[in-house]
Amino acid sequence: RKRIGILTSGGDCAGLNAVIRAVTRCAVDVHGWEVLGICRATQGLMSRPPQVMRLEPHKVDPILMMGGTILGTTNKGDPFAFSMPDGSVRDRSPEIIEGYHLLDLDALIGIGGDGSLAILRKLAQQGGIKLVGIPKTIDNDVGITERSIGFDTAVNIATEAIDRLHFTAASHDRVMIVEVMGRDAGHIALNAGIAGGAHIILIPEIAYKIENVCRYVKKRQAQGLDYSIVVVSEAVCTEAGETIEQTKSLGECRLGGIGQYLADRIAKGTGAETRVTVLGHTQRGGIASPLDRILASSFGVAAVELIAEGKYDHIVTWQNRQIISVPIAQAIQNYRVVDPEDTLVKTARGLGICLGD
Ligand code: F6P
């Protein structure tokens, strides 16, 4: 009878609870093992005694669709250089490794994005932790898997927001700018922008010119279409190639992120009334989409089966509707942004969507 641990690390997203449920059902009901949920990621392993909750199928059954993570999570940086409350920096990896061994675990399932998985792998290698990884991130930038948990729900939420904004944009003859998350990758913007019928989509991977954006808005105005929807990814820079943080420090843009910067520039360049909506963390919460629940359930079961086979240091991935396990080392080296030649970029161009270039 094995005893396994599970933790969720990094930013939350929809579908994490569905993985916790799947792992628990498969490990307890199918294999007869014990599952300990580790609270607040590696922080739970730093605590003494380690902070855990025993997971039982009947307890986790209702959490399938719930957003967030019942285990809690943290993205408070690197445990190898942990910032202490007194301002000092300490290597807390030995405490985490000790915490794992104190729990007498046979294996650990770590759910995280590329950053969390890299940290968990380093801990596993240093401390003899038998680790299996599951990819999650709304950004969909873990390149080894076509899909990560949380991405589909984030795209659904962003799409719904864009749908709603069409009506207000058209009623008021406004240019509505919708700023979405995605870290350095434009996947959410591109997918939600196409799905939501955006007229302009700006992503960090394709350099834009304000002039092109304004020309496109004016062309629509000349056609009697006095409203436009612009979807912009949070990491898009100013036209001069500066990040918004750099711009702010220069006192250029005081009012917010790249969305506000574009709103000001588009208003100046077209005379249109502009408004900004920053979706922020709404994209991470809410009810998990059916696709995320299916992906999470499949990943959870596959991770348990890897442990049953004794195949550690691997991550489960989705490739061509198959679950394939690959070494975690490969997953963390493979960061994916939008390829400017991607099919969806071609689709956007084919639809006449302005990408700003
Ligand atoms: O990686 C997920 C993500 O939501 C990014 O899209 C975003 O840039 C970042 O995390 C926000 O992080 P935080 O929750 O720390 O504000």
Residue located via tokens 């420090």: 249
CA of 147 to the centre of ligand 1 (A): 17
78: annotated active-site residue: no
Annotated binding site: 11, 76-77, 113-116, 137-139, 174, 181-183, 234, 275, 281-284
159, 125 in Cβ contact below 8 A? no
Pocket test for ligand 1, best of 142, 183, 258 (most atoms within 8 A of CB): 183
DSSP track, 108-140:
EEEEE-HHHHHHHHHHHHHHT--EEEEEB-TT-
pLDDT tens for each residue of the chain, 357 residues long: 999 999 999 999 999 999 999 999 999 999 999 999 999 999 999 999 999 999 999 999 999 999 999 999 988 789 999 999 999 999 999 999 999 999 999 999 999 999 999 999 999 999 999 999 999 999 999 999 999 999 999 999 999 999 999 999 999 999 999 999 999 999 999 999 999 999 999 999 999 999 999 999 999 999 999 999 999 999 999 988 887 766 665 554 444 589 999 999 999 999 999 999 999 999 999 999 999 999 999 999 999 999 999 999 999 999 998 999 999 999 999 999 999 999 999 999 999 999 999
In angstroms, the CA 275 to CA 82 distance is 40
In angstroms, the CA 57 to CA 224 distance is 58
Does the beta carbon of 75 lie inside 6 Å of ligand 1? yes
The active-site residue out of 12, 139, 152, 292 is: 139
Q: DSSP letter at 14?
A: T
If one counts every other C-beta atom within 10 angstroms of the C-beta of residue 103, the result is: 18
Does the beta carbon of 185 lie inside 6 Å of ligand 1? no
